[in-house]
Chain A
Amino acid sequence: MDERVKTDMGATAAALDYDAELMLRVRDGDGASFGVLLDKHRLSVIHFLYRMVQNHAVAEELAQEVFLRVYRSRSTYEPTAKFTTWLFRIATHLALNALRDGKHEKSQERLDDASGDLPVRQVSDKRPTVEASMVYESRLEEVRKAVATLPEKQRAAVLMHKYQDMEYSQIARVLNCSESAVKSLLFRAYESLRARLAHMA
């Protein structure tokens, strides 16, 4: 603890967060470190965005924008927060903007056209029975609709809590609100989800 006072703040945060260290290297001109960060976080960012907007193409487009912005901001990057907090803050911001800009209309269309984004192989390869895959699809549809119905901030909070395994405190930093606000967002969100999904065994 005493050591870190004298060293520069960048080194401190980097020691606490390997990603931040990588980002500092990107800032200092190391393009390979950007590749490492991309490898590490590509999937979680795309999946988060996919579940936010529920459209694969839009999610990938937004994810491209996220990483592009990370790269563009490299020269002003300072590790004042966990790297993933910063990353998901950008991702959430873009997702909320996209939803407000009306890109979600596409996602609503997709919701009605359930075949659109399903990992088709999973249902068709094994082909246990037609009914089984129909049951799978309709269950999935139900989950997607339940999540899509959540207000945007609640949705973002649930997705980070459930799929990114984030603590309340980190979600609070991403959403720029208090920890107790995050808790009530999550409680309300899970309450709605329980009402819609609890019957699913």
Chain B
Amino acid sequence: MDCPLETHEGSALLLAYSSGRLERESTVPLERHLETCPGCRQFVESQSSVWRALDSWEAPPVSADFDRRLYQRIEQQVSWWDMLLRPFRPVFHSRSLPIAAAAGVLIMAGVLLDRPAVVPITPPQQSAQVEALQPDQVEHAVDEVEMLDQFNHLMRSEPAEPAAKM
């Protein structure tokens, strides 16, 4: 067996072809190769079966009250969460410390005024942050997610979302 496609690139090509994502200019020479190579032909046939099998797997419909539950949670959690998180945020975004502090104060004020949190709280001046763009912002978001997890474990004194368990 000396198939030229027995490489990583070859596999990628065959995978793309089996899923119908190969550009036309690569399709023609590949199909010519398939005519003469039983190994690749077998790969394509079995991969296409996998593709069809996965196609047949439909996800169940989304619950009708999904959005309502989400907005309810936003309303319930965002205000206390912001209040808790703001003072810690400088650990992760040290450059935005004054902004975070200001935001904390604003949000505290919002909470005191019993302002519903779904109505987005007008953020403080963000222009400084736009200039201080950090390339690894996704990293920070995930850091924050991890921290959120820890907090959730700590703060989850009530059974999580009884409404969601319908």
Contact = CB atoms under 8 A, between A and B. Distances in A.
A122 B62 CA distance: 15
Q: Which of A71, A180, A193: most chain B CB closer than 10 A?
A: A71
Given A80-B138, A194-B46, A198-B50, A187 B63 contact: no
Nearest to B119: A31
B49 A200 contact: yes
Interface residues of A, number: 70
Contact of A139 (B56, B120, B140): B56
Interface residues of B, number: 66
Given A10-B130, A140-B56, 11 more contacts: A8-B131, A64-B73, A68-B70, A68-B78, A76-B96, A78-B130, A89-B142, A93-B146, A118-B60, A119-B60, A194-B46
Contacts of B85: 72
A153 interface: no
Interface string B21-61: 00000000000000000000001011101111110111111
B133 A29 contact: no
Given A46-B62, A56-B60, A61 B50 contact: no
A43 interface: yes
Interface string A20-60: 00000011111100100010001100110011000011001
Contact of A50 (B59, B70, B138, B142): B59
B15 interface: yes
B115 interface: no
30 contacts: A27-B123, A29-B123, A30-B120, A43-B62, A47-B59, A50-B59, A61-B160, A61-B164, A64-B73, A69-B144, A72-B82, A76-B93, A76-B129, A77-B141, A80-B136, A81-B137, A81-B138, A90-B142, A94-B145, A122-B58, A143-B53, A146-B53, A147-B54, A147-B57, A163-B54, A186-B15, A190-B50, A198-B49, A198-B50, A201-B49
A117 to B, nearest CB: 5
Contact of B133 (A63, A80, A200): A80
A60 B56 contact: no
A20 B68 CA distance: 24
A75 interface: yes
A70 to B, nearest CB: 9
Q: Which of A85, A93, A180: most chain B CB closer than 10 A?
A: A93
Contact of B161 (A61, A162, A190, A199): A61
Interface string B65-109: 011011001100110011001000100010010000001000000
7 tightest A-B CB contacts, nearest first = A198-B46, A47-B59, A80-B137, A78-B137, A31-B120, A194-B46, A29-B120
A42 B67 CA distance: 9
Contacts of B3: none
Given A38-B70, A64-B69, A187 B8 contact: yes
A68 B74 contact: yes
Contacts of A201: 49
A97 interface: yes
A89 B164 contact: no
A199 B49 contact: yes
Contacts of B12: 183
